Amino acid sequence: MTDKVQELVSKCLQARDMAYCPYSRFPVGAAILTADGAIISGCNVENASYGLTVCAERTAIQRAVVEGHKQFTAIAVTCDIKDRFVGPCGACRQVLMEFGSDWTVYLIKPDGSYKKTSLNELLPLAFSSADVMKKN
Ligand code: THU
């Protein structure tokens, strides 16, 4: 694991510890690596009106955009499940796709071990901005 990936994993695990999830008690952490080497993290933020909950991945994306980043190379995602690797929900996959299909996705277990995959693999034949803008 490179130092940068190690840092991404650490930031993702730290973000999970900040989750606001009194309803599900299912904390999730995410950390995004930007093209210029910055790391922006996020956690899930739930709401008493359950449908207003925002996932960790989307919290991280929104933070990143506010901070001026729109080019991303990788995201790490973690939760408390120890015995298998857990992927981002479908809605988050689509939101990540907004910023390109060429992302590395690291699925992180609580002990820091990881499985490396890609957004293309997680969301094949995706609908994207190219379709809306009618580009080839
Ligand atoms: N959650 C995420 O933060 N990311 C995902 O990709 C899946 C689900 C959150 C939403 C909710 O707060 C909790 O996990 C249980 O669904």
Angstrom distance (rounded) from CA 136 to CA 134 = 7
Element (H or E) spanning 34, and its range? strand 29-34
Residue 89, ligand 1, Cβ within 6 A: yes
Angstrom distance (rounded) from CA 71 to CA 6 = 20
What are the catalytic residues?
A: 57
| CA 29 to ligand 1 centroid distance, Å | 9
94-103 residue pLDDT tens: 999 999 999 9
The conformation of residue 72, written as its DSSP 8-state character, comes to: E
70-92 residue pLDDT tens: 999 999 999 999 999 999 999 99
Secondary structure (3-state) at 114: strand
Name which residue sits closest to atom 9 of ligand 1, judged by CA: 55
- Domain coordinates of the chain in residue numbers? 3-133
108-128 residue pLDDT tens: 999 999 999 999 999 999 999
**The amino acid at 34:** T
**Is residue 43 a known part of a binding site?**
no
Pairing of strands 72-78, 29-34: antiparallel
Summary count for the chain: helices (H), strands (E): 5, 5
What the block records as the tokens of 80 is 């408390």
Name which residue sits closest to atom 2 of ligand 1, judged by CA: 55
pTM of the model: 0.97
3-133: what CATH class? alpha beta
**Is residue 45 a known part of a binding site?**
yes
**Is residue 55 a known part of a binding site?**
yes
